[in-house]
Structure 1
Amino acid sequence: MTVNFDEDLPQDVYEFNEIRKNMDWEKSGVAALLKPAPVTQHLPSFDAEGKPCFKPYRGSGKLEGKYALITGADSGIGRAIAMCYALEGVKGITIVYRDEREDDDALYTKKTIEAQTNCQIHLIARDIGYEENCREILDAHLQTFGRIDILVNNAAEQHKVTRIEDLDCPTVERTFRTNVFGPIFMTKLVCAHLKAGGVIVNTASVAAYRGMDVLVDYSATKGAIVSFTRALSQQLADRRIRVNAVAPGPVWTPLIPNTFSREEIQKFGSFPPLKRPAQPCEIAAAFVFLASDDSSFITGQVVHPNGGTVINT
């Protein structure tokens, strides 16, 4: 029996969305508690008769022989990125996650990827909001694999606050440490080891462009990531290192039920023209493109897999 992330996959993404609206969950952030789980290695598609279906992601060697470090890759978008990178031929991936509460998700990600591919997965639990932790992460990656070609700054957190008056300093600091300080620290350290052809891909958000009224500080951090991407791309261009970002629209990940109420979950993803949230694999495909030679003339840009929301940048 083939081991994969999407064994209990509904017939198509629209059926999945109806199930999602009515599922029960716990506010834990643990991917294993969401049934069916967010889709990691299948893409929504249509058959020859125009009927919706899922089709497995097929790698074609776009990242053959590379080594990657991905933060926040135990579940959600990060897990899907790791899976797609492995299917594209990446030889080794360091998966970074916050702490022991995510151990089960991280171990499941490692075992499932290694069962399907020749990619070796190294796990490390550290809070990326502190530079010393980022140094330990990179040291562990280099000790395991010897080199790094791709850095994906994906780890993020968000905290719903409906009134700006209730947004306290510890919450703001916590959100900025994970979403902004971490990518800056991680990139600073990794750049000393990236050779020409190296790639950095950051996770931004549609919230950076349209804002979210209950995620004011989160929206601000994602705006910072967009500016960081643009500025860094200019600094590293002479070193032939490309820097880009992906700004997803609504995506069904464990972060969503951990943040919003049942009523909000039922409406989640209804604002884009496609009238549904993305599945993680749909977002991961953009990270494959930006890490591969297919995007060799693209740097300082943001890709917008957001379901049709028009972004004028």
Structure 2
Amino acid sequence: MATKDQLTFDDPTTRHPRITPPEQDQPMPGLDSELEPKADRGEKSYRGTGRLEGRKAFVTGGDSGIGGAVAIAYAREGADVAINYLPEEQEDADTIAKLIEKEGRTCVQLPGDVTNRETCDRLIEQAVEGLGGLDVLVVNAGKQVSKPSIEEITDEQFDLTVKTNIYAMFWMCRAAVKHLPAGSSIILSSSVQSYSPSDHLLDYAMTKAAMNNFGKGLAKQLAPKGIRVNIVAPGPIWTPLQVVEGQPKEALPEFGVGQPIGRAGQPVELAPAYVFLASAESSYVIGETLNVNGGADSP
């Protein structure tokens, strides 16, 4: 029997198991290698069809979770890929790099903290140099910390969340634009939280709403140059982000089961959205927020 991949026809409610993660904790920034249960990033379940042949993509947060799944999918679709991550995530980054290189594609590993402007500028230049150009930028690295009360959100947490989710996005896009030829794509990782904020994710949800607005405005500015900007808004996806303070620990066993589909999503289920938005087949899709959230309401 052939391995089930993203093109297999089946029931989406049971395509991936309804996980019941045990209460667990990891120190920041978290590793896929220590996640229980393991997430499906498409290592065995994503099949490429040549939709990004010859493209040159840079994915922030590309070592794990959604970013890791996107990096794998891009390589299997024919793209060379640069991935950014924190130095503490080297183990996960090495795993993704091996999977990319197994496809015969180039992987440029770029550790660095994107909360620093000079680092963002440097990372874009290194990606361009390492890939021999740049035509896809995926701004995916994010910071999410669950706090039940606004009184518990410290200035330090607020500042780091905004720096990671908003400042880094702005800095990356600003540095990348001069390198992007017509036909290029910028894709931002927003969240269902931008439309339906949880009461324990005030600062995170706020930044994701700002990301939607920024993406739509930048899309209008860059469209005449042939550069498309779009946004993906995931729902509850099982990644290390959830166990490093992203969710209340006691809520982890029920993570995602409240979605109409009845389960949390897996990172590999996001990858086709990012492939579509990077590919030429979405040439008339500009300023769109593509929701991948298991049936939750969205505008």
Provide the TM-score with structure 2 as the length reference: 0.91
Q: 1:110 to 1:228 in 2, by over 3 A?
A: same
1:1-313 aligned within 5 A: 14=14, 17-18=17-18, 20-23=19-22, 25-28=24-27, 29-41=30-42, 56-90=45-79, 92-98=80-86, 100-115=87-102, 117-259=103-245, 260-312=247-299
- CA offset digits 1:178-208 (Å, max 9, x no partner): 0011011000010001011010000000000
Amino acid at match of 2:98: K
Q: What is the rounded CA distance, in whole Å, between the counterparts of 1:22 and 1:191 in structure 2?
A: 40
Q: What is the rounded CA distance, in whole Å, between the counterparts of 1:189 and 1:123 in structure 2?
A: 18
**Aligned 8 A contact 1:208 1:222 in 2:** yes
Higher relative contact order (CA 8 A, sep 6+): 2
CA RMSD of aligned residues (A): 1.7
Give 1:3's aligned residue. Answer: none
Displacement of 1:141 in angstroms is 1.3
**Aligned 8 A contact 2:108 2:131 in 1:** no
Q: What is the rounded CA distance, in whole Å, between the counterparts of 1:33 and 1:93 in structure 2?
A: 24
Q: Structure 1: where are the runs of 5+ without partners?
A: 1-11, 43-54
Q: How many residues align?
A: 285
Give 1:5's aligned residue. Answer: none
Displacement of 1:35 in angstroms is 4.1
Identity %: 36
Displacement of 1:23 in angstroms is 3.9
Q: What is the rounded CA distance, in whole Å, between the counterparts of 1:16 and 1:258 in structure 2?
A: 23
Amino acid at match of 2:57: A
**Aligned 8 A contact 2:62 2:70 in 1:** yes
- CA offset digits 1:253-306 (Å, max 9, x no partner): 011122234420012102210011100010111000100112110000100010
Q: Structure 2: where are the runs of 5+ without partners?
A: 1-11
SS in 2 for 1:224: helix
Q: What is the rounded CA distance, in whole Å, between the counterparts of 1:56 and 1:148 in structure 2?
A: 27
Q: What is the rounded CA distance, in whole Å, between the counterparts of 1:298 and 1:242 in structure 2?
A: 8
Q: What is the rounded CA distance, in whole Å, between the counterparts of 2:161 and 2:259 in structure 1?
A: 26
Displacement of 1:112 in angstroms is 2.3
**Aligned 8 A contact 1:94 1:141 in 2:** yes
Q: 1:309 to 1:22 in 2, by over 3 A?
A: closer
Q: 1:27 to 1:13 in 2, by over 3 A?
A: farther
SS in 2 for 1:212: coil
**Aligned 8 A contact 1:26 1:33 in 2:** no
Q: What is the rounded CA distance, in whole Å, between the counterparts of 2:98 and 2:36 in structure 1?
A: 19
- CA offset digits 1:131-151 (Å, max 9, x no partner): 110111012112212200100
Q: What is the rounded CA distance, in whole Å, between the counterparts of 1:65 and 1:162 in structure 2?
A: 46
**Aligned 8 A contact 2:62 2:68 in 1:** yes
Q: 1:262 to 1:162 in 2, by over 3 A?
A: closer
Displacement of 1:125 in angstroms is 1.1
SS in 2 for 1:95: strand
Deviates more, 1:269-278 or 1:221-230: 269-278
Provide the TM-score with structure 1 as the length reference: 0.87
**Aligned 8 A contact 2:140 2:189 in 1:** yes
Q: What is the rounded CA distance, in whole Å, between the counterparts of 1:302 and 1:22 in structure 2?
A: 29
Q: 1:264 to 1:150 in 2, by over 3 A?
A: same
**Aligned 8 A contact 1:25 1:33 in 2:** no
Amino acid at match of 1:299: I
Amino acid at match of 2:121: R
Displacement of 1:17 in angstroms is 4.0
